[in-house]
Structure 1
Amino acid sequence: MARIEAKLAELGLTLPQPLQMPQNVRMSLPLAWIRVRGARAFVSGHVPLNLDGTIAQPVGRVGVEVSVDEGYAAARLVALAQLASLKKELGDLDRITAWLRVFAMINVAPGFDQMPKIANGYSDLILEVFGPDIGAHSRSAVGVALPLNVPVECEAELEIDGGVRSLV
């Protein structure tokens, strides 16, 4: 078993299936979830997913419908969703040599200003799995309105070993 997959198993973490849009949502997504260019992988915004790829609950604004702890947990699920997409695209998560940048968008109630606490769920998971040498990254965390009323969406940029052009 690959090193990163072994670490995920050791932590009791399972990667979800790809996003399954809710039945009532008709949305075409003309984008690549992962775009590989040279030694970089650009990761489109992902949302919190259940293991079957459906959008995880609760949904809503952090500070009203979603608590800080629930927002933190949702951000961890976003990181797992991205790892699932990266595994599908790269074939091996051990190809990731550095997490460079994370942009966390938090669906917040007016006046809520603790976006970094929510984004820490994502960052903490990446650091637990990859360690500080590979997992340390720059990050922004901003409050916005998000599609499908999800509490968190994150995008990322990574450095990879043996970059290949994405076919997705």
Structure 2
Amino acid sequence: MSRIESKLQSLGLVLPPPLAMPPGVVLPFPWVRVVGRRALISGHGPQARDGRIAQPLGKVGRDLTGEQGYEAARLTALGILASLQRAIGDLDRITAWVRVFGMVNVAPGFNRTPAVINGFSDLILQLYGPDAGAHARSAIGVAELPFDIPVEIEGEVELAA
């Protein structure tokens, strides 16, 4: 078992299976694209332990509290880690989290998007530490996200050779 898998297990966290897409939805791109020592991560939303889109859905600041948005971002981190594990094998191959772009489905007037995306960043820093886990980041509010998910996050990591 890898170091990161051990940390996840000690936290009681489980990586979900591949996302169970809604009926009729086909995505024409990979969740992770490895190019040399970089892994580019397509936008992910929060996943439940069974692989389905996690609930609740909707806009942060109307349908979800900021705390629920934070938890959605944390669940998104688990989905991203699961996709990375399927693409690269061992999560310990990640030597640096380079960049993270977080989008929050917001109600008008909700401007605490950085606090929501902290659900992702806090978990990555907890797992990878301040050196490998530190990342450049943006956290913006958007009017809509696919399937009414509250959070979508994409990013890039550097891999060991």
TM-score by length of 1: 0.93
| Correspondence 1:106-121 to 2 at 5 A | 106-121=104-119
Q: Which residue of 2 aligns with 1:157?
A: 156
> How many Å apart are 1:149 and its aligned residue?
0.2
1:87-121: CA deviations, max 9, x gaps?
A: 00111000000000000000000111000010000
Q: Which residue of 2 aligns with 1:104?
A: 102
1:13-68: CA deviations, max 9, x gaps?
A: 11011110233xx2220001000001100000001001111011100000000110
Q: Which residue of 1 aligns with 2:74?
A: 76
Instruction: Name the aligned partner's letter for residue 21 of structure 1.
Output: M
- Answering whether residue 62 of structure 2 is matched by residue 67 of structure 1, we say no
> How many Å apart are 1:12 and its aligned residue?
1.1
| Correspondence 1:48-67 to 2 at 5 A | 48-67=46-65
| Unmatched segments (≥5 aa) in structure 1 | 163-168
Instruction: Name the aligned partner's letter for residue 20 of structure 1.
Output: A
Q: Secondary structure at the match of 1:52?
A: coil
Q: Which residue of 1 aligns with 2:147?
A: 148
- Root-mean-square deviation (CA, aligned residues, Å) is 0.7
Q: Secondary structure at the match of 2:110?
A: coil
1:128-163: CA deviations, max 9, x gaps?
A: 11111110001000111101000000001000012x
Runs of 4+ in structure 1 over 3 Å off: none
Q: Which residue of 1 aligns with 2:21?
A: 21
CA distance in 2, matches of 1:9, 1:27: 32
CA distance in 2, matches of 1:2, 1:126: 15
| Unmatched segments (≥5 aa) in structure 2 | none
Q: Which residue of 2 aligns with 1:7?
A: 7
% identity of equivalent residues? 59
> How many Å apart are 1:10 and its aligned residue?
1.1
- Answering whether residue 92 of structure 2 is matched by residue 94 of structure 1, we say yes
Equivalent residues, number: 160
CA distance in 1, matches of 2:32, 2:160: 15
TM-score by length of 2: 0.97
CA distance in 2, matches of 1:34, 1:22: 20
